C-alpha cells in the first residue's frame, strides 16, 4: 500500500504552499484521483489523517473527486469510457487507443486555508522512547 507515501506527498506540498503564503491552518484539501491512477481513495483518506498530525494541516478534511478513464481513437474519432479493468481497444475499428484523455490524474486541485490552526495543531511531542 503506497497510499501513505502519497498522503505524505500531499501534506508536504500543501505545507510548502501554506508556508509560502504565511497561512496558519488548512481547512480542506481537494484531490482528483483518476480511476487508473492506482490509488484507493478510502485508504488515502485514512493515511491523510495520520500524515497531517503535527503539521499545519492538522484537522484538515480531504475530499476526493474520482475521474473516470476516457480514451480516444484518432483514426475513427471515437471516444469512450475505458471502464475498470480498462478497455484500451477501440470498439469501432479495433485499433489501440491513440490517447488516454483522462483517468491517470493524481493531483491536488484546491486548498481551502483556515484563519486559525486546526484544533490540535502543534508540533508532535516526542514519544518517550525517542528521547
Partner 1 sequence: MCRVVDLRQAVLAKNTLAARVLRDELNARGTTVVNLLSSPGSGKTALLERELRLARERGVAAAALTADLATENDAVRLARSGVPVKQVLTDGLCHLEADLLAGHLHGWLPEDTRLLFVENVGNLVCPASYDLGESLRVVLASVTEGEDKPLKYPTAFGLAQLVLVTKSDLAGPAEFDETAFRAHVQQVNPGVEVVLSSVRTGAGAGVLVDRALAAAEGHRVHAPVMARAEA
- 3-21 vs 41-52: helix axis angle to the nearest 10? 50
Residue 47 annotated as binding site: no
Instruction: Tell whether residue 110 is a contact of partner 1 (CB under 8 A).
Output: yes
**Binder of partner 1 out of 57, 114, 118, 121 (CB under 8 A):** 114
As given in the structure block, the three cell numbers for residue 65 are: 473527486
Pairing of strands 79-81, 70-72: antiparallel
Distances (CA, A) of 103 to 5, 19, 93: 20, 31, 22
**Binder of partner 1 out of 49, 78, 106, 117 (CB under 8 A):** 106
- Residue closer to partner 1 (CB basis): 42 or 125: 42
- Residue closer to partner 1 (CB basis): 112 or 122: 112
Contact criterion met (CB below 8 Å) for 76 and 46: no
Q: Determine the Cα–Cα distance for residues 131 and 128; give it in Å rounded to an integer.
A: 5
Instruction: Tell whether residue 2 is a contact of partner 1 (CB under 8 A).
Output: yes
Instruction: Tell whether residue 107 is a contact of partner 1 (CB under 8 A).
Output: yes
% helix, strand, coil for the chain, step of 5:
25, 30, 45
Instruction: Tell whether residue 43 is a contact of partner 1 (CB under 8 A).
Output: no
Instruction: Tell whether residue 51 is a contact of partner 1 (CB under 8 A).
Output: no
Residues at the contact surface with partner 1, assessed by CB under 8 A? 1-2, 5-6, 9-10, 12-14, 17, 21, 23, 27, 31-32, 34, 36-39, 71, 84-89, 95-115
Amino acid at each position: 500500500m503506497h497510499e501513505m507515501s502519497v498522503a505524505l506527498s500531499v501534506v508536504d506540498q500543501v505545507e510548502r504552499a501554506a508556508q509560502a503564503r504565511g497561512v496558519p491552518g488548512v481547512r480542506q484539501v481537494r484531490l482528483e484521483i483518476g480511476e487508473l491512477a492506482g490509488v484507493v481513495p478510502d485508504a488515502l483518506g485514512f493515511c491523510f489523517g495520520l500524515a497531517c498530525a503535527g503539521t499545519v494541516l492538522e484537522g484538515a478534511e480531504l475530499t476526493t473527486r474520482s475521474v473516470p478513464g476516457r480514451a480516444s481513437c484518432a483514426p475513427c474519432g471515437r471516444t469512450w469510457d475505458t471502464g475498470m479493468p480498462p478497455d484500451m481497444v477501440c470498439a469501432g475499428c479495433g485499433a489501440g487507443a491513440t490517447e488516454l484523455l483522462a483517468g491517470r490524474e493524481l493531483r491536488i486541485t484546491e486548498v481551502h486555508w483556515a484563519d486559525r490552526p486546526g484544533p490540535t495543531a502543534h508540533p508532535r511531542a516526542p514519544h518517550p522512547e525517542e528521547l
